[in-house]
Structure 1
Amino acid sequence: MGAWRGLRVAFILGSLFVILLIIVYWDDVGGFNLYSFRELKHESVQSGCCTGITTGSVLSVSTDRTQTRTPVAVYNAASAATLFSKGAAQEVTDVEQKEMESEEARTADGGEQKARQQRVLDVCLGKDDVDFPGRTRAFEQIPIRELDHLIVDDTHQIIYCYVPKVACTNWKRVMVVLSQSLISPSTGKPYTDPEAVPADLVHNSSLHLTFAKFWRHYGSLSRHLMALKLQHYTKFLFVRDPFVRLISAFRNKFGRPNEDFYRHFGSVMLRRYGNASEGLAETAAEAFAAGIKPTFHQFVSYLLDPETERKSIFNEHWRQVYRLCHPCQVKYDFIGRLETLETDSERLLKLLNVDHLLRFPLGARNRTEASWERDWFSQIPVTKRRELYKLYEADFELFGYPKPDYMFHQ
């Protein structure tokens, strides 16, 4: 009996030691994600991009973003037996087919994407003599609150940095569908069509998991988790000519009554630069009815005013992309442009292995055209145009938009 008891103790201690080794060295053999917000369904195997660890689930990890993602499977005894069935074999074939299509998507626009990524890298390394705040800091030095635009989808291993006024409503719709974070009242099930997701709901921050929320969920593990996901997930953003984006933001927020933006920004612009300190309407509706509303010139003056920067960081609708998405710290796998939205969106969905699940909604297009720039800035003094360019110069250089020569001449 004593010998048998000793063997049992030795077996238990040995098992605990092996488990400890697995925990300590797991990251070194590929990493994993135990932080998924919902248990993955069996159908997720077909897309080859599962991340949750549950009974019988598949673990998929990308170890090199420049190559096709290779699923690393972890099965229990039951699922191991199922793997060799005819049906499961067909699923593996489907996964391989999707991986091949993904690789084709990577190479289809490989030259253009490499050029965009290389330009970002060169600017971040200081090769273009363009300096801007935060260029050389490490990702760990970015305050948590400044990571609120990095949306994470654990199910499909995607990180999307949204930039307001750059098709972000429709890309948020896509992320809602992929993450199944919103239930359709008509079906009682998660939305499957991005165009059906209500635009007024898609900007609700509670629908999206962002890096800024990690501290609340994971505490001291937050930074480690971010690093793992940045290493293994596909990261993308969409950009736009910086000045066209500014015009679009102004038209959308100040070209028609908007109570929130009037109260926080429009009324401030009118008081500071419109000589309307007395008798200023309290609401946007009253101001517009009286024909009093901020001008584009006042908007530019507000952006250039040192007082604006001292009191608060820019609103996200006109905040620089480098401050929203941190391209010098996050190596994006895909940089799309609004100017080539249709083709870029199609290629990106293939790259993400989700083109069989949904289509990008292209119906509602932003109406602000690049050809409008000269007219909008014609009433802005040259000195202010130059100052404004310096304010957004980093975005122009990072994403390859040409320097607007008209900004420097009468």
Structure 2
Amino acid sequence: MARARLLRLGLALGSVGMVLLIIAYWDSVGPAHFSPHAAFSRPRTPGPRPSPGQAAGRELAPDVDEFLEKLLGAGTRQSVLPGKKTEPPPPPAPSRPAPGSMEESVRGYDWSSRDAPQSPDADGQQAARRGVLRDFCANTSFVFPAKERSFDDIPNYELNHLIVDDRHGVIYCYVPKVACTNWKRVMIVLSESLLDRGAPYRDPLDIPREYVHNSSTHLTFNKFWRRYGKFSRHLMKIKLKKYTKFLFVRDPFVRLISAFRSKFELENEEFYRKFAVPMLRAYANHSSPPASVSEAFGAGLRVTFSHFIQYLLDPRTERLAPFNEHWRQVHRLCHPCQIEYDFVGKLETLDQDAAQLLRLLKVDGRLHFPPSYRNRTASSWEEDWFANIPLAWRQQLYKLYEADFVLFGYPKPEHLLRD
């Protein structure tokens, strides 16, 4: 019996030692797979990557992610592992709204394709955006909550917006209301994480919207603990070091207007019950709002933009739960002072930035960024939307989102913040 126990202990220690050796090896070599779209190690800053021909003569690393999944996943395996290819049920009717519909009017769809302009200063623009981030993250006089914590201090549940594609070595932090639906579609195509009749999707627009926002479709950092246990943080750091990391941002106040329009001007049962009903009770003196959004809309009862701003400024809101992701600050979703992003795109220059990013990732030959919504929620609308918002509220709201304005280079909206 003692000999059997010693044997089992030796095997366990040997397995752990092997895992540590593999992690150390991967840390020095980087990810590479026997895939037609193999990803090679990248430098810290974006730049040209070696082609498969240039890598000839060098032995490719095994699929370490798959190996660790098999070795460490025993007993923690989910029914469908994050990142595994899954086959959705038969696709429903097309998700594109009919022209003239309420959804089309509010969201502002534009399904026409167009060529993105090529900026002669594209690389310089990226360097400038990353420089602004680095400078303010290092500036000790500029402070905001959670700025000084380390990556290890970030709770696991706050890493749920970081989507990983191991096939191409890409990490995308998605920000709702900043073209995230289409960027998620691109990540599904790249990672081949979702199948359509047995084959991976090739055209991002073929992926139904409801599958795009299903959390089981994507491998995100917060799922690593269930797959890798105590090795999860180390593997995250390796991937953050080796992979190309990107996010897209938007003027913070315009993003708030867009969130309000899509979640409260359209009939959304979930957002009505969870957010509109409490707003109507707290700020509109409706003690018993209708039970459903259709009843409320039928009675002409809706939350106003003023109610929404009151809700954001109310200290009770954050005490009950963190902001919903559609209006949570970008620095709380993507942690730009703990993660050094290689590419910072902006919705205001979406076509240009999307084309540049796909070239950087060397995938521009196999897919194009899908046509996006017309940006009907524009900066020029801010004065109209904030016209009935008291000055003191506007100033408080700016302080709430100041870090996003500063970190991502958006000018302070002085015209909204003074008499």
Give the Cα separation in 1 of the matches to 2:243 and 2:186: 17
SS in 2 for 1:264: helix
Shift of the 322–290 alpha-carbon distance from structure 1 to 2, 3 Å rule, reads same
Give the Cα separation in 2 of the matches to 1:250 and 1:130: 29
SS in 1 for 2:226: helix
Q: CA deviation at 1:395?
A: 0.2
Match of 2:239 in 1: 229
Give the Cα separation in 2 of the matches to 1:109 and 1:399: 16
- Residue deviations 1:252-280 (CA, integer Å, cap 9, x gap): 000121100000000010000000013x1
Q: Does 1:359 align with 2:357?
A: no
Q: CA deviation at 1:40?
A: 4.3
SS in 1 for 2:171: strand
Match of 1:110 among 116, 123, 138: 123
- Residue deviations 1:377-400 (CA, integer Å, cap 9, x gap): 000000000000000000000001
Match of 2:136 in 1: 123
Counterpart residue type for residue 161 of structure 1 = C
Match of 2:21 among 20, 23, 29: 23
SS in 1 for 2:201: coil
Gaps of 5+ in 2: 1-13, 62-117
- Residue deviations 1:47-69 (CA, integer Å, cap 9, x gap): xx2xxxxxxxxxx2224434433
Q: Does 1:321 align with 2:333?
A: no
Gaps of 5+ in 1: 1-15, 50-59, 77-104
Shift of the 232–29 alpha-carbon distance from structure 1 to 2, 3 Å rule, reads closer
Counterpart residue type for residue 358 of structure 2 = L
Give the Cα separation in 2 of the matches to 1:106 and 1:228: 32
Q: Does 1:159 align with 2:171?
A: yes
SS in 1 for 2:158: helix
Q: Tell me the number of residue pairs that the alignment of Structure 1 and Structure 2 aligns.
A: 343
Q: CA deviation at 1:359?
A: 0.3
Q: Does 1:203 align with 2:221?
A: no
Match of 1:8 in 2: none
Q: Does 1:136 align with 2:134?
A: no
Contact 2:189 2:204 in 1 (8 A): yes
TM-score (ref. length: structure 2): 0.77
Q: CA deviation at 1:409?
A: 2.5
% identical equivalent positions: 54
Contact 2:46 2:244 in 1 (8 A): no
Counterpart residue type for residue 111 of structure 1 = G
Bigger helix share: 1
Q: CA deviation at 1:356?
A: 1.2
Counterpart residue type for residue 65 of structure 1 = T
Match of 1:146 in 2: 158
Give the Cα separation in 1 of the matches to 2:229 and 2:246: 26
Contact 2:161 2:174 in 1 (8 A): yes
SS in 1 for 2:142: coil
Match of 1:98 in 2: none
Contact 1:65 1:232 in 2 (8 A): no
- Higher relative contact order, chain-length normalized (CA < 8 Å, sep 6+): 2
Match of 2:48 in 1: 68
Contact 1:40 1:155 in 2 (8 A): no
Q: CA deviation at 1:24?
A: 7.2
TM-score (ref. length: structure 1): 0.79
Match of 1:401 in 2: 410
Match of 2:181 among 148, 154, 169: 169
Contact 1:385 1:407 in 2 (8 A): yes
Contact 2:186 2:204 in 1 (8 A): yes
Give the Cα separation in 2 of the matches to 1:286 and 1:28: 57
Counterpart residue type for residue 277 of structure 2 = S
Give the Cα separation in 2 of the matches to 1:211 and 1:383: 39
Match of 1:343 in 2: 352
Contact 2:246 2:341 in 1 (8 A): yes
SS in 2 for 1:375: helix
Larger Rg: 1
Shift of the 298–22 alpha-carbon distance from structure 1 to 2, 3 Å rule, reads closer
Task: Show the 5 A alignment for 1:27-38.
Answer: 27=25, 30-33=28-31
Q: CA deviation at 1:132?
A: 0.8
